[in-house]
Each structure stands twice: as structure tokens, then as C-alpha cells.
Amino acid sequence: MTEQSSVPAEEPVTTVAFVLYPGLTPLDMVGPLQVFGALSELVPGYRTVVVGERIEPMDSDVPVQLVPSHTFEDMPDPYALIVPGGFRPTLAAMADEGLLQRLREAAARSQVVGSVCTGSLLLGAAGLLEGREATSHWMYRDLLARFGATPVTRRWVEDGPVITAAGVSAGIDMALHLVDRLAGHEAARTVQLVLEYDPEPPLGPVDWTPVDAGAFVSFAQENLRTALTGHPGLLARLTA
């Protein structure tokens, strides 16, 4: 009789992968990354990875560099793929077909595809938002319609397997929502407590009533023109 192996089977691991590319806004990634990092410390069976083209330092839009933990090739199959945003470098990345193809391939292996801020524009450019509701940074939210999405003004928007968050800090809210869905309400509340995420901005909450979004149109379009120099087709599609 053959003796049965006594080696226990490995427990399944739920992986959340964040995409790193040059010039992104660090808080778009690090905020939700910290949420899932806390989850992996508190609850067995979760891990976070940061993926990029190469494992080397990449500039961000502030004076700090970030290094991915994995390349796209050696990334474990993720449960969730999260794409951070930024400003001009992210707008320029809409024309980076290599990155967009990486996103398509990774999204096909994921159960959830998410974004923070203008990261949703990269999802849109990759063809992943067609027919879905989505949000983004308020200054660029309407551009989602050019990619076949329906822009929605909410802190985060969930449509099927896709979840998009509004500007910067909204990524933390989205991440806590996903933790709640994955690990339960008590785990999400514990993560929130450990991170002491209880925002009380000194100037109070944003008052959207007097905000004149139209006053920022020329600024937003100038960013697009600068970022997409050399890509007149895409620029025309987004500024027509």
C-alpha cells in the first residue's frame, strides 16, 4: 500500500495587484495598498503585490520613486487588479498601447478590475469600460463617455466586475468597501481602526455647490494637449 503524503495542502491566497507606471500619483496607489496591506496582516489568506514592466525605481508626480514587487510576467493571478491615476503622465499613458495591452491581459485573469482617480481613463482606453457606469477625478470624469462609459458622480461606482473611485483619497474608501465585501464588515472596520482612517479635514468637507467645473476646462484640455503630443487621433477624440 502506498503511504499517503502528510504534507498539508497550501491554503488558497487572494491576491490584490496594483499597477505601477511612471508618473502616477502615489496616494492613488499607496492609500488603497495600505488598506489591503493591513488586511493581509490581520486576516490569513490575503496578499498585495505591485506590478510593473520592470522591477526598478519609477518616478511619480511628487519627489519620491516607487518600485514594483513583481513584473506583469511573474504576477500571481490576481483576484483584483487596481489601476492608480495621476495627471499628465497618466493622460499620456492612454496612448501607451503596451501598457493598455498589459491591462487587458491582467483584467482577463482578474475577478475585479478597479481604478483610482484618472486610472479609470486607462481602463477606458484599454476598452474595459464599454457600456459601464464609471467615475474618475471630477476634472476629467466626462472624458469617460468618449470610451463608451457612462460618467457617474459618486465617491466610487461598482458596475459588474468593475469598480472605479473618484479622485485620490476616494481610493481608500473603495478599498475599504472591497475589504468589506471580501472579508466581512468586522474585518473592514478593524482595518479602518488600525489605519485610524477617520478623516476630519481642517477646512471641512468639500462643498461642491459653488464649484465651477467649466472654469477648469481650458486647464484640463491644455494638460491633454501636452500629454498627447504626437497622438493627434486620440487627442481629437478626447477634445472634440
The tens digit of pLDDT for each residue in 66-98 reads 999 999 999 989 999 999 999 999 999 999 999
Enumerate the domain spans of the chain.
14-199
State the pLDDT at residue 6: 55
CATH code given to domain 14-199: 3.40.50.880
The grid cell for 236 is: 481629437
The single-letter code of the amino acid at 189 is: R
- Indicate if 74 belongs to the active site: no
Burial (Cβ within 10 Å: 0-12, 13-18, ≥19) of residue 133: middle
Q: Distance between CA 238 and CA 121 in Å, rounded?
A: 11
SS3 content of the chain, % helix, strand, coil (to 5): 40, 15, 45
Q: Which residues contact 49 (CB under 8 A, 6 or more apart)?
A: 15, 16, 17, 18, 69, 70, 75, 76, 78
From 27, 51, 80, 117, the catalytic residue:
117
How many other C-beta atoms lie within 10 A of the C-beta of residue 77?
10
Q: Distance between CA 46 and CA 49 in Å, rounded?
A: 10
State whether residue 217 is helix, strand or coil: helix
Which stretches of the chain score pLDDT less than 50?
Answer: 1, 7
Cα R_g (the chain), whole angstroms: 19
Q: Distance between CA 124 and CA 94 in Å, rounded?
A: 9
Torsion sign across C-alpha atoms 146, 147, 149, 154: negative
State the pLDDT at residue 12: 83
pTM, full prediction:
0.93
State the pLDDT at residue 9: 53
pLDDT tens figures, 101-121: 999 999 999 999 999 999 999
Q: Angle at the Cα of 82 (from 140 to 225), degrees rounded to 5?
A: 30
Identify the bridge partners of residue 70 per DSSP, sorted by sequence position.
51
